[in-house]
Amino acid sequence: MKKIYLILSVFAVVFTACETDFDVNATWEEVTVVYGLLDAGDGKEVQQIKISKAFLGNMDALQMAQYADSINFDPNDLDVKIFRIKNNEVIDSDTLSAVTVIRDGDLFNDTIIIYKFLNDDFLKSDSEYELIVENKVTGNVVSGHTELISDFSFDLSDEYKFGFYNPFLADSAKYRSKLLIWNHFTNGKIYQVDISFDYSENGESKNLIWSQPLVTSDGNIMNTLLEGEKFFTFLRNSITKDDTKHRNFVNIDLIMTVGTSALETYVNVNRPITGIVQQRPQFTNINNGIGIFSSRFTHVRNDVDLSPDTKNYLKDELDRNFE
């Protein structure tokens, strides 16, 4: 007979079956799962942390997944607090409130519980943060600790325009690449650039996200290359050819997300397994639980324009009815 060890997290659902020498009617074992990334970046006033549970049970895993109490703690049972720490002293604290979120899905119960607090000047670059989750019924205490990433900016002028095409060059050189350069920021280890292409379609606002590869910090100066030909290929593959659609370019939003070294490790561990050895290594920085409590920083540079030649390519060459 087998027992199912069910672990639910934001990124993945892992079913592990093991041959048992245990009593299948044994009392369940409390395992707290935490996923939280503090973000002091643009538009991130509300901070969210997912706290759920894993346990041993003798039911079929698909059956257990249908019950809310298989993955959710009763919010009345938990006391969730976050502490701001500076020079090893607690400077401030906040109590998180539980919010029920409904999600779509046939396999799992569609109710999850997120714990929130408002960043009303609470997240400071000179401080570290500790999360404490106490089960008031069982006395179980889970904790996590993180530093903060609190700043980032692109070194671009207000008049900067992305020029991905120059029709006056030789055919082999018409598609232009742009090198984005930035400085390493304190506690930042991984950097993700996303290009939000904003446009209208028959008067309706639309946008596409062109994501770039993760960049790992290996010095003070960092960069990522935006290739013009790949930019146009992305648009051509993402926008359907339809003569009934009248489209207009609006602007580009440049989005940078910076993550800590702990987040980098978590991302790397959870990448798809491609080698011969299929066993996934485990990573957690949660004390007396599993998951991750870390930080990231989201910076948005809004309303970046395209060069006139690039706009003309959208209208004349892309063949997607831009006007």
Smallest CA-to-CA distance from 152 within 192, 122, 117 is with 192
Q: Which residues of the chain fall below pLDDT 70?
A: 1-28, 55-70, 103-110, 273-281
pLDDT of residue 17: 34
Taking residue 225's Cβ as centre, other Cβ atoms within 10 Å add up to 11
Question: CB of 301 within 8 A of CB of 249?
Answer: no
Smallest CA-to-CA distance from 250 within 182, 303, 290 is with 303
> Scanning the structure block, which residue is given the tokens 């400071």?
124
Amino acid at 126: D
Average pLDDT, the chain: 84
CA distance 252 to 198: 6
CA distance 8 to 90: 32
Smallest CA-to-CA distance from 318 within 239, 211, 206 is with 239
222 - beta bridge partners?
182
pLDDT of residue 153: 79
313: part of which helix (H) or strand (E)? Answer: helix 308-316
66: part of which helix (H) or strand (E)? Answer: none
Smallest CA-to-CA distance from 181 within 220, 216, 221 is with 221
The per-residue pLDDT for range 213-246, each reduced to its tens digit, is 999 987 788 899 999 999 999 999 999 999 999 9
pLDDT of residue 218: 78
Q: How far is the first Cα of the chain from the last one, in angstroms, to the nearest whole number?
A: 65
The per-residue pLDDT for range 147-158, each reduced to its tens digit, is 998 778 787 888
pTM exceeding the 0.85 threshold for the entire prediction: no
Token representation of residue 163: 């020029």
What HEC string does 247-301 produce?
Answer: EEEEEEEEEEEEECHHHHHHHHHCCCCCCCCCCCCCCCCEECCEEEEEEEEEEEE
> Scanning the structure block, which residue is given the tokens 């050819």?
241
pLDDT of residue 102: 78
Smallest CA-to-CA distance from 122 within 53, 231, 27, 47 is with 47
The domain ranges of the chain are 2-148, 161-259+300-316
The per-residue pLDDT for range 285-310, each reduced to its tens digit, is 999 999 999 999 999 999 999 999 99
